[in-house]
């Protein structure tokens, strides 16, 4: 009975109309075709990310094999990097909560945790901008990564419900 009530409660949260504060409870979706998000994201990118990830999303020289103070260098966000290998939700969480939260406290990383630096909508915007710069074939692969990821999540939730 308790489990049933909490399921209903969670469903209600998911159905609530979205605003910035309830964003984390909803499915995360980038908006690379939305010019408002892309324009905003471009500004956020230049202010917050370009110093490490490069003005043209090219990353830091030697990012593949060099480390500085035991930390990796910033990878590119263009086609040559691996940002596009990850679904929207993971990119969002990495940016918002940081690598330590996702991987472990002893992970050494230079990238700031953006949760308290920029609003959730700006995180969506900056990642939407990044995606908007990818060539059509990469965007298509990334869309497929997202739909596979969502399908997996949905199946896992269904299996979880049967217990
Ligand atoms: C101080 C430097 C720095 C800044 C500023 C910075 N990053 Fe990073 N970022 C890094 C480093 C270094 C990594 C790789 C960390 C690792 O793999 O250990 C990284 C990795 C990432 C990844 C994962 C990429 C992948 O291929 O797995 C994403 C996504 C990302 N950054 C987004 C952003 C966004 C968005 C901003 C701006 C809002 C930003 N970063 C600002 C240094 C930075």
Distance CA 149, CA 64 (A): 26
pLDDT band with cut points at 50, 70 and 90 for residue 102 = very high
Percentage of residues in the chain having pLDDT higher than 90 = 77
Distance 141 CA to ligand 1 centre (A): 21
Q: Are 68 and 99 in contact (CB under 8 A)?
A: no
In the prediction, which pLDDT does 68 show? Answer: 94
Q: How many angstroms from the chain centroid is the CA of residue 58?
A: 18
Q: What tens digit of pLDDT does each residue of 148-160 get?
A: 999 998 899 888 7
Q: What tens digit of pLDDT does each residue of 11-58 get?
A: 444 444 444 444 544 689 999 999 999 999 999 999 999 999 999 999
Distance CA 50, CA 31 (A): 20
pLDDT band with cut points at 50, 70 and 90 for residue 131 = very high
In the prediction, which pLDDT does 163 show? Answer: 61
**Stretch among 3-12, 41-50, 100-109, 141-150 having the lowest mean pLDDT:** 3-12
Identify the residue whose C-alpha is closest to ligand 1 atom 8.
Answer: 111
Q: What tens digit of pLDDT does each residue of 79-92 get?
A: 999 999 999 999 99
Distance 74 CA to ligand 1 centre (A): 6
Domain borders along the chain are 28-162
Average pLDDT, the chain: 88
Query: Which among 40, 53, 66 is the best mutation to test ligand 1's pocket, defined by most ligand atoms within 8 Å of the CB?
Result: 53
Residues with CB under 6 A from ligand 1: 48-49, 51-53, 72-75, 81-83, 86, 91, 94-95, 99, 109-112, 114, 126-127
The class level of CATH for 28-162 reads: mainly alpha
């Amino acid at each position: 009975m308790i489990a049933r009530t909490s399921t209903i409660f969670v469903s209600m949260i998911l159905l609530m109309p979205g605003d910035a504060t309830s964003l984390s409870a909803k499915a995360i979706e980038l908006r690379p075709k939305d010019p408002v998000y892309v324009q905003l994201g471009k500004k956020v990118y230049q202010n917050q990310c370009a110093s490490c990830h490069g003005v043209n999303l090219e990353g830091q020289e030697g990012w593949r094999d060099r480390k500085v103070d035991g930390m990796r260098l910033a990878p590119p966000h263009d086609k040559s990097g691996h940002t596009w290998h990850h679904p929207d939700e993971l990119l969002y969480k990495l940016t918002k909560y940081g690598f330590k939260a996702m991987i472990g406290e002893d992970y050494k990383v230079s990238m700031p945790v953006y949760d308290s630096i920029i609003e959730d909508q700006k995180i969506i915007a900056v990642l939407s901008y990044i995606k908007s710069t990818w060539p059509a074939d990469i965007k298509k692969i990334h869309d497929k990564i997202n739909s596979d990821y969502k399908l997996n999540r949905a199946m896992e939730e269904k299996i979880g419900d049967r217990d």
